[in-house]
Amino acid sequence: MSESPVTDRATAAAVAGPAASPAKGAAAGPAPGGRPHRKVRTHLPGTPWLFLGPGLLIVGGFSLYPFVTTVVDSFTDRRTLVEGQYVGGANYQELIHDDKFWTGLRNSLLYMVGVVPLLVILPLLLAMLVARKIPGIAFFRSAFYTPVVASVVVVGLIWVWLLDDRGLVNSMVTGLGLDRIPFLSDSTLLLVSAMLVTVWKGLGYYMIIYLAALANVPRELHEAAAVDGAGAVRRFFTVTVPAVRSTMVLVGALSSVAAFKVFSEVYLMAGPGGGPGGDDTTLVMLVKQTGTGLSGRVGYASAISVVVFVITLGLMLLVLRANRKEDS
Amino acid sequence: MSTAAEPRAERRARRRAARAQEFGDTGGRRLPLWQLVLRYLLLLAILAVMIGPFLWQLSTSLKGPNEDIYSKTPQLLPSDPTLDNYAKVADLIPVWDFALNSLKVAVTNVLTNCVGSALAGYALARMRFRGRKVALVTFVMAMLVPVESIIIAQFMTMRELQLNNTLIGVVLPGCIGAMNVLLMRNAFANLPYEVEEAAYVDGANAWQRFWHVALPSVKGTLAVVAIFAFMGAWDDFLWPLIVLSDQEKFTLTIGLDYLHGAFADNQRLVAAGTIIAVAPLIVLFACLQRYFFRGVGEGAVKG
């Protein structure tokens, strides 16, 4: 349910390691040893459904059913307190002419473009820095992971205070004899500040993913390159980068999906209205604004939700395809 | 005889070599001193960026009313440290009730996720039955639907169930995560089947095999599910923001947002509130950090 780059789902997958990735396992069928050898049933007929029941009920009732109603509602004029009538593609037509929608789409896409390159590169460099086992390194690894653990609300409020007109960062800036920087009142800078927070919070998380990947790089490759006279920079591009390329794709995928759906950072820093003139509203913020409250336009918000879903799914498929090409 | 006879020293040396290989980045050679110093300097600089903001917040929360928190030359150590801000924040908003609500939600989330996903994961990995593929596909599909894109429909579903503005409504949608089910399924699938065969021969039924044989072997994955279920629930913002409307039912994240909105001009109070929210998690993290980094070790072993 969290909407930071660090969704609990994604985190669990990363921690369990690449081999435990359920998506992969599911595609490849049961793992060896997972399928019972014997042909006979080793349980009473109804038992599996007793075991599966609660899970299917929750997942069906609170993920799949709402998904279906989202799609259905997007073709109606349903409101919070009013039953909906079928209106065809009217909501989608309205979207095309809705400036707010385009602002939201632009901001969500901008967020992705701004955040993803940093989250692909910086955590890799960080991982290389903490990969070497030197005394005290466990402490540094844990410390760099702390922002991941802290709630996005806490992190957001900490940075609101740091970037305030009279906050720590600005008192340093003015201390250097420069003018105050309006991090939180200029609509462009506000979005950039929120991106900064997302990157800061995500660094440790992606660092851990890279750390696992780096541990799998055969040392012989580095040694061979070193013998051939390759310097550190050269070795980085000829050995490290190719070896962790698939991890870079994974990090790019996770971070772009998360960045596109950004809500909390911008909501906290810009306020519910989305900054000056609503210029910083993101797509998910728009979903919340339109769809909730007593006069919430559920149908219209559902249409925006469908757009969010389609773009997210598109991103995931794009990455899957890139990944498959690499494997072959 | 041969395995037991392996001299202890030899075994230790082998283990040490394995450990040295782990995380070796640019060859196993020892670092020159200047490189080591440079590394530590870099590490410390990054440490300041990653931890500094938390310390600044802690410092602000401890500063007394007569101290200038906007001073031109920032003071990290409060000159007049006080816990008044924490008492005041508790007077203005029921921050301890918010924390209790968050705790209720998080603990329930941990229990339901552990039990529900272990049961379902076991059935998917270890039982033969008609419809297993369908069940598996159901969970995979649920995993692909982003929460953000169904949040309004979830809200309407809760309205129909009359669970809006209740903590049950906060818990329900995430109480068994599809991702966790698939994680547990993989954990069970990786156990050798022979382990359970013996129990089966002894006449244990599916439940007994699950509870006494399989479950104890996947404690590690279960711990991962538990930790992330707790953090996910404790940190969640968007869903409680939509579901909850009465202040007395607020969770900490929503309470903080309210505090920030209502008392924005008193930074000391907001700071105290955020410290109350983040401290338990940092303590929990410090205690359980080896589980957080489990994946790294696993990756190294697989090498």
In the prediction, which pLDDT does A326 show?
63
ipTM of predicted assembly, 2 dp:
0.81
Q: Compare CB distances from A162 to B23, B53, B116 and report the shortest one's residue.
A: B53
User: With an 8 Å Cβ cutoff, are B289 and A134 in contact?
Assistant: no
**Residues in chain B within 8 Å Cβ distance of A211:** 23, 296, 299
In the prediction, which pLDDT does B212 show?
86
Whether the per-residue pLDDT at B31 is higher than 80: the answer is no
Q: Compare CB distances from B228 to A12, A47, A70 and report the shortest one's residue.
A: A12
Q: Which amino acid appears at position B95 of this protein?
A: V
Per-residue pLDDT tens listing for chain A (328 residues): 333 443 434 444 444 444 434 443 333 344 444 454 444 567 777 888 889 999 999 999 999 999 999 999 999 988 888 888 888 888 899 999 999 999 999 999 999 999 999 999 999 999 989 888 888 888 899 899 999 989 999 999 999 999 988 888 888 888 888 888 888 888 899 999 999 999 999 999 999 889 888 887 877 787 788 888 777 888 888 888 888 888 898 899 889 999 999 999 999 999 888 888 888 999 999 999 998 888 889 999 999 999 999 999 998 888 777 777 665 5
Max mean pLDDT among A43-47, A303-307, B28-32, B288-292 falls in A303-307
Instruction: Tell me the CA distances in angstroms from B138 to B72, B120, B144, B206, B208, one per residue in order.
Output: 58, 12, 10, 23, 26
Q: Compare CB distances from A226 to B27, B56, B173 and report the shortest one's residue.
A: B27
Distance CA B195, CA A219 (A): 36
Report the pLDDT averaged over residues B101-122. 94
- Better-scored residue on pLDDT, B48 or A293: B48
In the prediction, which pLDDT does A156 show?
94
In the prediction, which pLDDT does B152 show?
93
Distance CA A188, CA A196 (A): 13
Which tens digit of pLDDT belongs to each residue from B202-234?
878 888 888 888 888 888 888 888 888 998 899
| Residue A106 backbone zone (phi > 0: left; psi -120 to 50: alpha; other: beta) | alpha
In the prediction, which pLDDT does A229 show?
78
Distance CA A126, CA A296 (A): 45
In the prediction, which pLDDT does B217 show?
85
Q: Compare CB distances from B302 to A19, A22, A316 and report the shortest one's residue.
A: A19
In the prediction, which pLDDT does A40 show?
54
User: With an 8 Å Cβ cutoff, are B149 and A226 in contact?
Assistant: no
Give the closest-approach CA distance of A35 to chain B in angstroms. 6
In the prediction, which pLDDT does A5 show?
41
User: If you compute the radius of gyration of chain B from its CA atoms, what whole number of angstroms results?
Assistant: 25
In the prediction, which pLDDT does B7 show?
67
* Residue A300 and residue A91 in contact, taking contact as beta carbons nearer than 8 Å: yes
Distance of CA A133 to the CA centre of its chain: 29
In the prediction, which pLDDT does A194 show?
94
Does residue B269 sit at the A interface (CB-CB below 8 Å)? no
Handedness of CA A126, A132, A134, A138 (dihedral sign): positive
Number of neighbouring beta carbons within 10 Å of residue A241: 12
Does residue A163 sit at the B interface (CB-CB below 8 Å)? no
Nearest by Cα to A275 from A122, A130, A103, A63? A103
- Better-scored residue on pLDDT, B220 or B108: B108
Whether the per-residue pLDDT at B300 is higher than 70: the answer is no
Give the closest-approach CA distance of B127 to chain A in angstroms. 7
**pTM across the whole model:** 0.83
